Amino acid sequence: MKLKKSWINSANDAKSQFPLNNLPYGVFAMPDDDEAGAHCGVAIGDMILDLTLLEEEGVLVVSNEPVFDLPFWNEFIELGPDAWAALRTRLEDLLAEGGDDTVSGDADLKSRALIAQSAVEMQLPIVVTEYTDFYASRHHATNIGTMFRGAENALPPNWLHIPIGYNGRASSVVVSGSDVRRPWGQLKSPDQDSPEFLPCRRFDLELEMGAIVGTASDGPITVAEADENIFGYVLLNDWSARDIQAWEYQPLGPFQSKATATTISPWIVTKAALEPFRCMTPPREVPLLPHLQDVGPMLYDIDLTVTLAPEGKAATTITRTNYSALYYSAAQQLAHHTTSGCPMNVGDLLGSGTISGPTKPERGSLQELSWGGKEPLTLETGESRCFLEDGDTLTLYGTAQGDGYLIGFGECTGTLLPALKDPYKR
Amino acid sequence: MKLKKSWINSANDAKSQFPLNNLPYGVFAMPDDDEAGAHCGVAIGDMILDLTLLEEEGVLVVSNEPVFDLPFWNEFIELGPDAWAALRTRLEDLLAEGGDDTVSGDADLKSRALIAQSAVEMQLPIVVTEYTDFYASRHHATNIGTMFRGAENALPPNWLHIPIGYNGRASSVVVSGSDVRRPWGQLKSPDQDSPEFLPCRRFDLELEMGAIVGTASDGPITVAEADENIFGYVLLNDWSARDIQAWEYQPLGPFQSKATATTISPWIVTKAALEPFRCMTPPREVPLLPHLQDVGPMLYDIDLTVTLAPEGKAATTITRTNYSALYYSAAQQLAHHTTSGCPMNVGDLLGSGTISGPTKPERGSLQELSWGGKEPLTLETGESRCFLEDGDTLTLYGTAQGDGYLIGFGECTGTLLPALKDPYKR
């Protein structure tokens, strides 16, 4: 697939993350708007096309009732795959060089409907109904397992059979740009008899991608159905308190260690935009049970990087990996999620799990990069890191390389604020 | 506290679960209504007072905007503790013998606003925003731990310091009376090399109570604040697939084993109604950290029973215990839930964890009652049970005994349907 040209020049730059081929969906507000004033929009080059405005003015009609009147995409997503395809076709037409000139040919409408990305603040693109986090990178699971349980028991016996996951906390999902406060929690080092309640000392990132459920289901669905039911993907940083996790996670799994914040990119890249980048899951060491077997290429070739910038200093790229390094696809995770009859809803967010590749520079967390704090990472500023320090800004990027164009997610960034001195003082 | 008399005679019966002292909140529909037609109501004796109707007619004014116009209580709960107290006072006045005669003195209004409980179908009383399940009975944790890890390692090292919990799946919460379908899942017995995908063989109940968060929070809160933030309580049966759980739960906790269904009672009993029944948590073997310490009586003296009725046969009481058998109160659980900064919302549901007392007849799950399937339970019908069989109906009851009156939750019941023959056949 080649670049599709738009009459918005910045979208035709080979380095733009938002060419006409992409058309990712988000929610934006002018800095002085209140939340109710935020609009749904699509990124094109360095601009945003205001879909709420176009719907209000009758240029865009996707349903009998307005669906862009609320500042999140759930109402539109509820309309289903035919509506998803129809909107994409309509937007391609409105934004293509030589396409429908309703916007491009109307100077007044154009000036009102196109807003510079630099002028807005992005909000969460959806109401996250529920959030599930998986553990689908074999390299990550092996690294973590080796540190926690030794190389012999690194991969749990179920790992090659089940896309292991746990329920996360939807209320903790925030949009890129939100500051994250270092949490307090119970910590106990092996040499202590009892835990203490202290600020987390091992706060970490997890480089992930998130899949957004676009079609509800009410019983077990196949992997092929699950793939159909996914609306699109976001970048996702599942901030993790490793020391809280180590003490709390037995026997029922991570809880407060994962509940401080999970940051997602402001743009949802649709499955349609990612279609040219589909690739296969890796060969299976043991066959998957029939209900989880691969039914085609369901991962995507998306380059992922993470940068870390100490407060007021330049950023260092600390990891480079690829979404295709996962063992299980989001479709397989979603299919597994429904095996017990668990109802899934539009707006459910499924984190992939930390994405680590086979080599050290491809590891998706500081826990792995510093091998549990034993091998500090040296930044380009000369500083070293085992875990995050106050003021650090973490930024995730994801891009798929097409023929003369990129598909990008924007950035997924957040700055770590110091812990409160007394979390109970108001 | 003594019985408060109502002009509705059935509420004055010493065995009624719904005297004027109780006033629990629910959502009901006439059998031929669609969901949008369901109304908010309060139980009184064997009747329900229709609050949606009374609000429409101006008899009940709790806010400038209607709050009973949608078939769930979230809108009302959002108004906060002063509104909760004001509604209770108003309802006591409207329903008390010798109180305000707006309803009792108006034959037409009375006939429209009072509906027999036997004539309606109950729905979920709230939109469950998120669902967390805890593990707060020491007897239960010790029993399960002994079976899974041996008596030496029964109680995990963190258990006496943290109210252990995990995030559940809000979409799987259903109201009493909903059938539950036996799930499929991955099962692997110790003598097998690989798992199989089969219907669950060890489907179980968990006798719990649920606390409903009534005030949102956005950072750590104290135990006293957490107690203030709880709106009320429900009975809760966290249906559990033990064989799926045993294979999936390492290392990130239960997932599909808990996602088939969680049944709650249709009535929310408010904290105000339970006030006379407060009691202390047990003595602490090791002191709790300051942020989790007891600040007064925060458990309740509520007798809990479970009956099991095989299809078409009489019910046997299989367990009798008390809510006060827990080690951690819901307030302590909620306080712990916020330690990392996790935002809590109105409508969040916190399951207590299975409530087991110290002796065998007080155990709150079949896993414990049959000791992992080794000691079958004999029912009064002569049948035996290790785990649930298709067609079994489980019913939970909860009552607090006042001076000449009861506070009850109604029943929390569900019937187990057989597994689908092929879960992927439509």
**pLDDT at residue B32, as a whole number:** 73
Distance from C-alpha of B220 to C-alpha of A133, rounded to nearest angstrom: 23
**Among the listed residues A5, A82, A79, A75, the one whose alpha carbon sits nearest the alpha carbon of residue A40:** A75
**Among the listed residues B400, B322, B300, B410, the one whose alpha carbon sits nearest the alpha carbon of residue B25:** B410
**Is position A1 within any domain?**
no
**Is the domain of A23 the same as that of A43?**
yes
Catalytic-role residue among B39, B139, B140, B336: B140
Residues of B276-313 as b/e, b for ≥16 C-beta within 10 angstroms?
A: ebbeebeeeeeebbebbebbeebbbebbbebbbbbeeb
Mean pLDDT of chain A, nearest integer: 97
State whether residue B261 sits within 8 Å of chain A by CB.
Answer: yes
Q: What is the 3-state secondary structure (H, E, C) of chain B?
A: CECCCECCHHHHCCCCCCCCCCCCEEEEECCCCCHHHCEEEEEECCEEEEHHHHHHCCCCCCCCCCCCCCCCCHHHHCCCHHHHHHHHHHHHHHHECCCCCCCCCCHHHHHHHEEEHHHCEEECCCCCCCEEEECCCHHHHHHHHHHHHCHHHCCCCCCCCCCCEEECCHHHEEECCCCEECCEEEECCCCCCCCEEEECCCEECCEEEEEEECCCECCCCCHHHHHHHEEEEEEEEECEEHHHHHHHCCCCCCCHHHCCCEEECCCEEEHHHHHHHEECCCCCCCCCCHHHCCCCCCEECCEEEEEEECCCCCCEEEEEEEHHHCCCCHHHHHHHHCCCCCCECCCCEEECCCCCCCCHHHCCCHHHHCCCCCCCEECCCCCEECCCCCCCEEEEEEEEECECCEEEEEEEEEEEECCCCCCCCC
Mean pLDDT of B143-155: 91
Residue count (chain A): 426
Q: How many CA atoms lie within 13 A of A389 on its CB side?
A: 14
- Provide the CATH number for the domain around residue B243: 3.90.850.10
Distance from C-alpha of A20 to C-alpha of A99, rounded to nearest angstrom: 12
Chain B residues inside the 8 Å CB shell of A260: 340-342
**Is the domain of A118 the same as that of A138?**
no
CA distances for B261 relative to A108, A219, B71, B305, B351, angstroms = 54, 12, 21, 20, 13
Beta carbons of B164 and A251 less than 8 Å apart: yes
pTM, 2 dp: 0.98
**For the segment A192-244, what is each residue's pLDDT rounded down to a tens digit?**
999 999 999 999 999 999 999 999 999 999 999 999 999 999 999 999 999 99
CA distances for B130 relative to A139, A142, B169, B228, B259, angstroms = 31, 31, 7, 19, 13
Mean pLDDT of A111-138: 97
Q: What is the band of B36 on the pLDDT scale with cuts at 50, 70, 90? A: low
**Is the domain of B221 the same as that of B272?**
yes
State whether residue B283 sits within 8 Å of chain A by CB.
Answer: no
Distance from C-alpha of A204 to C-alpha of A181, rounded to nearest angstrom: 12
**pLDDT at residue B82, as a whole number:** 98
The more confident residue out of A31 and B392 is B392
**Is position B261 within any domain?**
yes
**Is the domain of A48 the same as that of A176?**
no
State whether residue A335 sits within 8 Å of chain B by CB.
Answer: no
State whether residue A190 sits within 8 Å of chain B by CB.
Answer: no
For chain A, helix, strand, coil in percent to 5 are 25, 30, 45
Mean pLDDT of A283-289: 95
For A266, the 3-state DSSP assignment is coil
Q: Hey, which residues does B308 pair with through a beta bridge?
A: B316, B394
Residue B170 above 60 pLDDT? yes
State whether residue B295 sits within 8 Å of chain A by CB.
Answer: no
- Provide the CATH number for the domain around residue B49: 2.30.30.230
What is the CA A44 to chain-centroid distance, rounded? 20
State whether residue A70 sits within 8 Å of chain B by CB.
Answer: no
Which tokens in the block code for residue A30?
Answer: 């002018």
Q: Which of B166, B172, B423 sits opposite A343 (nearest CB)?
A: B172
**Is position B209 within any domain?**
yes
Residue type, B331: A
Whose tokens are 């973490």? That residue is A394
Mutate to test the interface with A, among B140, B162, B167 (most CBs of A within 10 A): B167
Taking the CB of residue A36, how many other CB atoms lie within 10 A of it? 8
**Is the domain of B140 the same as that of B119?**
no
**Is the domain of A280 the same as that of A179?**
yes
**Is position B171 within any domain?**
yes
Distance from C-alpha of B258 to C-alpha of A259, rounded to nearest angstrom: 20
Chain B residues inside the 8 Å CB shell of A340: 183-185, 241, 244, 256-257, 259-260
ipTM score for this prediction: 0.97
Residue A93 above 90 pLDDT? yes
- Domain containing B86 equals 9-123
Whose tokens are 């009758």? That residue is A58
**Is the domain of B139 the same as that of B266?**
yes
Taking the CB of residue A358, how many other CB atoms lie within 10 A of it? 11
Q: What is the band of B99 on the pLDDT scale with cuts at 50, 70, 90? A: very high
State whether residue A238 sits within 8 Å of chain B by CB.
Answer: no
Residue A43, H or E segment: strand A39-44
Beta carbons of B195 and A219 less than 8 Å apart: no
Residue B34 above 70 pLDDT? no
Mean pLDDT of B365-379: 97
State whether residue A167 sits within 8 Å of chain B by CB.
Answer: yes
**Is position B29 within any domain?**
yes
Domain boundary among the residues B123, B147, B173 is at B123
- Scanning every residue of chain A, which has its alpha carbon at the shortest distance from the alpha carbon of B216? A171
Separation in Å, CA of A121 to nearest CA in chain B: 22
**Is the domain of B391 the same as that of B360?**
yes
**Is position A426 within any domain?**
no
Q: What is the dihedral of CA B213, B217, B218, B223, to 10 degrees?
A: -90
**Is position B110 within any domain?**
yes
**Is position B425 within any domain?**
no
Separation in Å, CA of B93 to nearest CA in chain A: 38
**For the segment A28-80, what is each residue's pLDDT rounded down to a tens digit?**
998 776 655 899 999 999 999 999 999 999 999 999 999 999 999 999 999 99
For chain A, the distance separating the N- and C-terminal CA atoms, rounded to the nearest angstrom, is: 56
Q: What is the band of B354 on the pLDDT scale with cuts at 50, 70, 90? A: very high
Whose tokens are 């390094």? That residue is A325
**pLDDT at residue A37, as a whole number:** 84
Q: What is the band of A149 on the pLDDT scale with cuts at 50, 70, 90? A: confident
Domain boundary among the residues B97, B123, B149 is at B123
State whether residue B302 sits within 8 Å of chain A by CB.
Answer: no
Residue count (chain B): 426
**Is the domain of A73 the same as that of A166?**
no
Distance from C-alpha of A199 to C-alpha of A203, rounded to nearest angstrom: 10
Which tokens in the block code for residue B324?
Answer: 């006060």
**Is the domain of B411 the same as that of B289?**
yes
Distance from C-alpha of A144 to C-alpha of A22, rounded to nearest angstrom: 35
**pLDDT at residue B194, as a whole number:** 96
State whether residue A293 sits within 8 Å of chain B by CB.
Answer: no
Catalytic status, residue B140: yes
Taking the CB of residue A275, how many other CB atoms lie within 10 A of it? 12
CA distances for B12 relative to B3, B4, B17, B95, B317, angstroms = 7, 8, 10, 11, 27
Residue A179 above 90 pLDDT? yes
Mean pLDDT of B282-305: 96
Taking the CB of residue A179, how many other CB atoms lie within 10 A of it? 12
**Among the listed residues B104, B122, B119, the one whose alpha carbon sits nearest the alpha carbon of residue B54:** B104
Chain A residues inside the 8 Å CB shell of B342: 169, 171-172, 256, 259-260
Separation in Å, CA of B184 to nearest CA in chain A: 6
**For the segment A242-272, what is each residue's pLDDT rounded down to a tens digit?**
999 999 999 999 999 999 999 999 999 999 9
Chain A residues inside the 8 Å CB shell of B220: 184, 423-424
Mean pLDDT of B220-231: 98
**pLDDT at residue B244, as a whole number:** 98
Residue A426 above 90 pLDDT? no
Q: Hey, which residues does B263 pair with through a beta bridge?
A: B174, B237
CB neighbour list of residue B65: distance below 8 Å, 6 or more residues apart: none
Distance from C-alpha of A369 to C-alpha of B25, rounded to nearest angstrom: 53
Residue type, A38: A
Phi, psi of A218 (to 5 degrees): -135, 30
**pLDDT at residue B149, as a whole number:** 84
**Among the listed residues A254, A243, A248, the one whose alpha carbon sits nearest the alpha carbon of residue A354:** A254
Domain boundary among the residues A100, A123, A146 is at A123
Q: Which of A168, A286, A340 sits opposite B167 (nearest CB)?
A: A168
Residue B303 above 70 pLDDT? yes
Mutate to test the interface with A, among B127, B332, B340 (most CBs of A within 10 A): B340
**Is the domain of A171 the same as that of A219?**
yes
Q: Do B114 and B47 meet the contact criterion of CB atoms below 8 Å apart? A: yes
Q: Which of A195, A219, A253 sits opposite B289 (nearest CB)?
A: A195
Q: Considering chain A, what percentage of its residues have pLDDT values greater than 70?
A: 99
Q: What is the band of B46 on the pLDDT scale with cuts at 50, 70, 90? A: very high
**Is the domain of B116 the same as that of B197?**
no
Q: Hey, which residues does A408 pair with through a beta bridge?
A: A399
Q: Residue window 361-380, chain A: list those with CB within 8 Å of chain B.
A: none
Per the structure, the count of domains in chain A is: 2
**pLDDT at residue B1, as a whole number:** 83
